[in-house]
């Protein structure tokens, strides 16, 4: 028998095969690869879903310890709290109700680059007057332009 396992017989007894003492990691690797693919597909879907054209900047991203509240101002001036459209008069009461940890809650303002600067400042002023102290503006990262040589 070429390539097979042969049993050597000595008299009446045959030699017993020893059990294999190696751990089969193939199923573990398969499960880990499936989980990796699932997380790679779902991670981009976890961001705020209101599409706006953010202005570009070269500032470094801030480190975050918990998820902030997001206020978005679209190009037509409509205000969104997270993914939900909100009237201007309802913004502060809803933010106050959501901020379970008091006014130390971080609020990020995302304004479309075509929105009037005064409109963004009005929203930020409302948040500041309501007592929110950690207000930040969100921008996209600007990619450096290649130099002509």
Task: Flag whether 44 is in a domain.
Answer: no
Relative orientation angle of helices 117-129 and 88-98, to the nearest 10 degrees: 40
Q: How many CB atoms lie within 10 A of CB 92?
A: 17
Task: Flag whether 14 is in a domain.
Answer: no
Task: Flag whether 59 is in a domain.
Answer: yes
Task: Flag whether 105 is in a domain.
Answer: yes
Give the domain extent around 72.
Answer: 50-141
* Confidence check: pLDDT of 73 > 50: yes
The span from the CA of 4 to the CA of 107, in Å, is 69
Task: Flag whether 124 is in a domain.
Answer: yes
Which stretch of 51-55, 82-86, 93-97, 127-131 has the lowest confidence by average pLDDT?
A: 51-55
Compute the average pLDDT of residues 53-80. Answer: 76
pLDDT of residue 8: 53
Give the number of domains in the chain: 1
Which residues 6+ apart lie within 8 Å of 147 measured at CB?
A: none
* Confidence check: pLDDT of 33 > 90: yes
Which residues 6+ apart lie within 8 Å of 138 measured at CB?
A: 54, 70, 108, 109, 110
Q: What is the pLDDT of residues 121-145, one digit of tens each?
A: 888 888 888 888 788 888 777 666 6
Q: Residue 63 belongs to a domain with what CATH number? A: 3.30.420.270
Quote the percentage of the chain above a pLDDT of 70: 68
Task: Flag whether 82 is in a domain.
Answer: yes
What is the chain's mean pLDDT, rounded?
Answer: 76
Task: Flag whether 99 is in a domain.
Answer: yes
Task: Flag whether 74 is in a domain.
Answer: yes
The span from the CA of 61 to the CA of 127, in Å, is 22
pTM: 0.52
């Amino acid at each position: 028998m070429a390539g097979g396992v042969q049993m050597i017989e000595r008299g009446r007894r045959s030699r017993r095969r020893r059990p294999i003492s190696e751990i089969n990691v193939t199923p573990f690797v398969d499960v880990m690869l499936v989980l990796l693919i699932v997380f790679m597909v779902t991670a981009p879907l976890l961001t705020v879903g209101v599409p706006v054209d953010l202005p570009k900047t070269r500032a470094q991203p801030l480190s975050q310890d918990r998820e902030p509240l997001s206020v978005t101002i679209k190009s037509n001036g409509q205000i969104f709290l997270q993914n939900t459209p909100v009237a201007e008069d309802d913004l502060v009461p809803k933010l106050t109700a959501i901020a379970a940890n008091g006014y130390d809650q971080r609020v990020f303002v995302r304004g479309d680059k075509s929105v009037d600067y005064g409109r963004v400042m009005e929203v930020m002023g409302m948040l500041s007057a309501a007592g929110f102290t950690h207000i930040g503006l969100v921008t996209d990262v600007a990619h450096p332009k290649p130099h002509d040589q």
